[in-house]
Amino acid sequence: MKFIEIKNCYKVYQNGVTAIADLTLSISKGDFVFVIGHSGSGKSTLIKMLYREEKPTKGEVIVGGINISKLKNRNVYKLRRKLGIVFQDFKLLPKLTVYENVAFALEAMGLKSNEIRPKVLKALERVGLKEKVRSFPNQLSGGEQQRVCIARAIVNEPKLLICDEPTGNLDPETSKEIMKVIESINKEMGTTIIMATHDREIVNRMKKRVITIENGVLVSDDAKGRYVAHENV
Amino acid sequence: MKMFRVLGRNIRDAFKSVFRNFSLSIASITCSTITLILVAIAVVISANVNNATSELEKDLTIEVFVDLDLTNSDIEHIRNQIAALPNVSSDNITYISGEQWKNDLIHESDDIKAILETLETNPLRSSFEVAVDDVNELSETTQNIKKINGVFDAKYGEGKAENFIKVFDVIEKITIIIVVALIVVTAFLISNTIKLTIFSRRSEIEIMRLVGTSNTIIRLPFLFEGLILGIIGSIIPALLTIYGYVLSYDKLGGYVYSNIIPLIKPFSFVLYVSLFVMALGALVGMFGSYRAVRKYLKI
């Protein structure tokens, strides 16, 4: 079985909008996959279903052996501990330092301080922020904040890293650096990466698998894809 | 070990939050203080009324006078018949013979002694003193006793005590309703204040959920926060109960309206009431915050 299996999945919101219609795809362990599409195409819904922020209305979504539609609210944390999420708006806690922000997830899992410390420092080293451990998020640049967010996502060494437009708020130069970090995580840690993005340049340069979604329907799934959504519609 | 570590962090976080959101904390502490003071007053009144009622009930007995010239077996028969009535238990029947009445009266005054000594026979009837289980059925029971063969007459009080008890019953019911209403109000107030603190921390909760914190652990610091707020809010009411009650007991000399209504002795009554108030504050605080967090945990 593949690491992520989506079978005949539908998502209809309460206001009647169909965000995803009859979507079927699978992703293997260690893959690097871009999900592209216009705003409102349903790609965010797809991403959100992977970490159970949304439930599919019909069909199956299975992530690492966990069936999303059957997962109870109080058990959502079990899924989230197995994956890391990187957000466009970073979602860092402003009152906590860089170190504390990354240690946050491990603390909640009840790890000892002396177990937490090496893990946090390792994650921060991987994203190249070891000197900024004591800084607060508002003292960092956007790119640095995104690195903290990535460090938090990988501190638990998850099998899957979900990136929801991680470069959406960053300039092209900084975006490049962030992509380097994400790519190295994919290569060195073997982490499966699913990244939703608008950034045509990044997609075309990386030459990875590209899944294109328009109006909730899968329009192309190309192993060495380019950003072609515009031409197709 | 893991549990204690998580628990320790949560208690630390709860205290941090109480002091970080100090103005909000003060607001909910004040709310619970005021309502808990009222609860304490209502509880004290209700307990005292209850106590006074049962004290009065103890004194309410039916005097049953039997016919003269009855044999011992006749009297035993009457006693059994009274004991068989639904509202009477056999332990609560005291027999006083005519001779005993005579002796009592002779000792009471010389005039009566003189009169009684001139008479050849004892004019005083033997009697039963009957205490009933339920005072509200006092008159009915009296009527039933009167129907027993060999009973000359049966009487109870003058109706005054009975009326007192009826009034007290009403007062007690009203205070219970007030106590319940106040408890509900306190729960809502604490719930609302904690909702405000949670609202300012909703992004924190969102992030906690996203990085895989279980709902129980997200909820714990808020539960502790509610607990802390409730307990702090109940300190003043508890102290007021102890000092206020002891003071007023001393001032009033243990009775309200001369000797009619006795007050409950302060110790250990005040301790129970203040413990009750503190436990209530803690529970209500926890319940309030439990309600408040629920919305943000999508349950």
What CATH number corresponds to the domain at position B113?
3.30.70.3040
Same structural domain, B51 and B69: no
Which member of B2, B207, B298 has the closest CB to residue A91? B207
Which member of A91, A107, A109 has the closest CB to residue B210? A91
- pLDDT tens for B35-76 read 889 888 888 888 888 888 777 777 777 888 888 877 888 888
**Residue A72 at interface with chain B, using a CB cutoff of 8 Å:** no
Looking at residue B66, what DSSP letter applies?
E
Q: Classify strands A18-27 and A4-12 as parallel, antiparallel or unpaired.
A: antiparallel
Our count of domains for chain B comes to 2
In whole angstroms, give the CA distance from residue A44 to residue A41: 8
**Residue B103 at interface with chain A, using a CB cutoff of 8 Å:** no
- pLDDT tens for B144-177 read 888 888 888 887 765 666 677 778 788 888 888 8
Same structural domain, B292 and B211: yes
Which member of B5, B204, B298 has the closest CB to residue A110? B5
What is the ipTM, given to two decimal places? 0.84
Closest listed residue to residue A56, CA positions, set A26, A24, A12, A25: A12
**Angle in degrees, CA A200, A205, A211, rounded to 5:** 60
Q: Residue B2: closest CA among chain A residues belongs to which residue?
A: A110
Same structural domain, B213 and B243: yes
What angle in degrees, to the nearest 10, is found between the helix axes of A142-154 and A113-126? 130
pLDDT (0 to 100) of residue A228: 65
Which comes out higher in pLDDT, residue A10 or B66?
A10
Same structural domain, B222 and B144: no
In whole angstroms, give the CA distance from residue B175 to residue B152: 43
Range of the domain at B134: 61-156
Instruction: Give the domain-ending residue among B156, B172, B203.
Output: B156
Same structural domain, B178 and B35: yes
Q: Where are the domains of chain A?
A: 89-157
The residue among B13, B210, B217, B296 with the most chain A CBs within 10 A of its CB, best to mutate, is: B210
Cis before residue B268, ω within 30 degrees of 0? Answer: yes
For the cut 70, the answer to whether the pLDDT of residue A233 exceeds it is: no
Place of tokens 């950003």: A227
Measured over the CA atoms of residue B179, residue B184, residue B185 and residue B190, the dihedral's sign is positive
**Residue A81 at interface with chain B, using a CB cutoff of 8 Å:** yes
In whole angstroms, give the CA distance from residue A213 to residue A220: 7
Same structural domain, B6 and B94: no
Closest listed residue to residue A80, CA positions, set A60, A59, A109, A58: A109
Q: Is the pTM of this model over 0.90?
A: no
pLDDT (0 to 100) of residue B143: 82
Same structural domain, B188 and B243: yes
Q: Do A73 and B203 touch (CB under 8 A)?
A: no
Q: Do A73 and B215 touch (CB under 8 A)?
A: yes
Mean pLDDT of A126-145: 93
Chain B CB contacts of A82 under 8 Å are 212
Mean pLDDT of B82-104: 80
pLDDT (0 to 100) of residue A232: 46
Instruction: Give the domain-ending residue among B125, B156, B187.
Output: B156
Instruction: Give the domain-ending residue among B139, B156, B173.
Output: B156
Sorting pLDDT into bands at 50, 70 and 90, what band is B2?
A: low
- Give B244 to chain A, closest Cα distance, Å: 45
Same structural domain, B40 and B181: yes
- Report chain B's mean pLDDT, rounded to a whole number: 81
- Give B187 to chain A, closest Cα distance, Å: 25
Same structural domain, B141 and B169: no
Mean pLDDT of A207-214: 91
pLDDT (0 to 100) of residue B161: 66
Same structural domain, B138 and B174: no
- Report chain A's mean pLDDT, rounded to a whole number: 90
Which comes out higher in pLDDT, residue A170 or B162?
A170
Contacts of residue B180, Cβ cutoff 8 Å, sequence gap at least 6 = none
pLDDT (0 to 100) of residue A116: 93
**Residue A93 at interface with chain B, using a CB cutoff of 8 Å:** yes
Same structural domain, B140 and B10: no
Same structural domain, B178 and B226: yes
Q: Residue A103: closest CA among chain B residues belongs to which residue?
A: B211
